[in-house]
């Protein structure tokens, strides 16, 4: 390093300045001595002082000459002589910028460290996501395999289902056949069905306890008569075979409920359960308020039919009309038979008379069901059919 400094030094300039300074000093000394010996006075000075002044001026001249020469040959010397203050200001500004740059560098370094940490975290998350993606892909493959397995199982199950459905249809047919046979056997062995309406009576308003008991006794007689007449037709009973069991507690409750009431009531005798041939018929009593629902001559239900419509059937249309008539009566408060859900019946002769009339009509017609008597809650619904 030192060798490089010595090699880069401008020895020619240095030697020239030293030699020139020595020469100028020598000349100044000679001039000073000369003027001193001649006892020359300048500015009124003494000769000795004049020689010293010349020597000093020679030194000043040497210094100026050296500075001029250095300034001529060196940019740095010129800068140091003429621009030092500006240079110091610039250096101070550069120092401030340097400090600022260092602070920014440190801040940038910190951000760089944070960025590296975030990058490392992002890389770690990316690695985890790649692992999760690989696991998801593996799960998807497994799910696809499971789906294919399930589809195969579904096909097998569908095939088994179809086979079982065919078997069920076959078994259902056999079951229906067996049920029909069983119903026939039951009907042959059952004398009275559960909830069958055997008889009913009206308890007028203001009836006393004794009157109600007589009505209940009459209800028992009507029940016996109805059952005997009905079962004799089927040749299942003789009058001596028919025995009844009434619940005295139910009768007492009805007497207590209705006695002295200003309302009209009805009381029904219903079969409590299915009764086989030869068994005693257990009767349950049912009572309720009786309201007037239709007056004699009221139109209970009416419907428009079109005999000329394609596919019209007089018998079918009349059956639908009677069904709608029953549903209307029940909706308006008529109590149906619990066993058959019927509210009344239409004589077969009247039914076919209406069918014949419909066959002879070739225009839209209204079928009216008109009440033959006052109809109360307990029914029955007795009607006549008129065409309009």
Residue pLDDT, tens place only, 126-183: 888 888 888 877 888 888 888 888 888 888 888 788 877 777 777 777 777 666 555 5
* 286 burial via Cβ count (<10 Å: 0-12, 13-18, 19+): middle
Sign of torsion over alpha carbons 339, 340, 343, 349:
negative
Average pLDDT, the chain: 78
More confident residue, 25 or 344: 344
* Residues 228-268 pLDDT 10s: 777 666 555 555 556 777 778 888 888 888 888 899 999 98
Please state which of the ranges 1-10, 83-92, 292-301 shows the lowest mean pLDDT.
1-10
Check whether 316 has a pLDDT greater than 80: yes
Q: Which residues contact 216 (CB under 8 A, 6 or more apart)?
A: 201, 251, 254, 255, 267, 285
Residues facing residue 387 across a β-bridge: 367
Choice between 162 and 293, residue whose per-residue pLDDT is larger: 293
Helix axes 84-189, 75-82, angle to 10 degrees: 90
Whole-model pTM?
0.48
* Per-residue pLDDT, 184: 46
pLDDT bucket at 295, cuts 50 / 70 / 90:
very high
Sorted by where each begins, the domain ranges of the chain are 11-82, 193-290, 293-387
Backbone torsions φ then ψ of 194, nearest 5 degrees: -65, 140
Q: How far apart are CA 11 and CA 20, in angstroms?
A: 14
Q: Which residues contact 262 (CB under 8 A, 6 or more apart)?
A: 205, 206
| pLDDT at residue 324 greater than cutoff 80 | yes
Question: What pLDDT is attached to residue 75?
Answer: 66
Looking at per-residue pLDDT, the higher value among 182 and 195 belongs to 195
H-helix or E-strand containing 307?
Answer: none
Q: Is the pLDDT of residue 1 over 70?
A: no
CB atoms within 10 A of CB 300: 18
């Amino acid at each position: 390093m030192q060798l490089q400094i010595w090699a880069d030094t401008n020895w020619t300039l240095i030697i020239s300045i030293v030699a020139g300074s020595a020469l100028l000093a020598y000349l100044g000394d000679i001039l000073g001595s000369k003027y001193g010996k001649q006892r020359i006075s300048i500015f009124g000075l003494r000769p000795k002082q004049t020689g010293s002044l010349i020597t000093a001026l020679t030194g000043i001249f040497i210094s100026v000459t050296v500075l001029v020469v250095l300034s001529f040959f060196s940019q740095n010397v010129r800068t140091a002589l003429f621009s030092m203050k500006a240079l110091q200001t610039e250096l101070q500004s550069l120092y401030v910028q340097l400090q600022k740059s260092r602070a920014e560098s440190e801040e940038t370094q910190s951000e760089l460290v944070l960025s590296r940490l975030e990058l490392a975290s992002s890389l770690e998350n990316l690695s985890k996501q790649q692992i999760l993606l690989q696991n998801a892909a593996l799960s998807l493959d497994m799910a696809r395999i499971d789906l294919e397995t399930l589809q195969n199982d579904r096909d097998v199950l569908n095939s088994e289902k179809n086979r079982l459905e065919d078997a069920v249809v076959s078994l259902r047919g056999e079951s229906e056949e067996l049920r029909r046979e069983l119903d026939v056997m039951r009907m042959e062995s059952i004398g009275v069905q559960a909830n069958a309406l055997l008889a009913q009576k009206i308890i007028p308003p203001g009836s006393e306890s004794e009157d109600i008991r007589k009505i209940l006794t009459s209800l028992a007689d009507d029940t016996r008569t109805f059952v005997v007449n009905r079962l004799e037709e089927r040749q299942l009973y003789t009058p001596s075979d028919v025995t009844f069991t009434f619940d005295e507690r139910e009768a007492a409750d009805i007497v207590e409920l209705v006695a002295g009431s200003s309302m009209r009531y009805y009381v029904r005798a219903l079969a409590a359960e299915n009764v086989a041939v030869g068994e005693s018929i257990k009767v349950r009593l049912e009572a309720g308020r009786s309201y007037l629902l239709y007056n004699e001559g009221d139109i209970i239900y009416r419907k428009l039919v079109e005999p000329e419509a394609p596919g019209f059937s007089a018998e079918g249309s009349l059956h639908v009309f009677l069904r709608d008539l029953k549903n209307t009566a029940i909706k308006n408060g008529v109590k149906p038979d619990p066993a058959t859900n019927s509210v009344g019946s239409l004589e077969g002769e009247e039914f076919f008379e209406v069918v014949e009339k419909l066959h002879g009509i070739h225009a839209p017609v209204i079928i009216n069901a008109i009440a033959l008597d006052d109809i109360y809650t307990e029914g029955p619904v007795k009607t006549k059919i008129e065409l309009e």
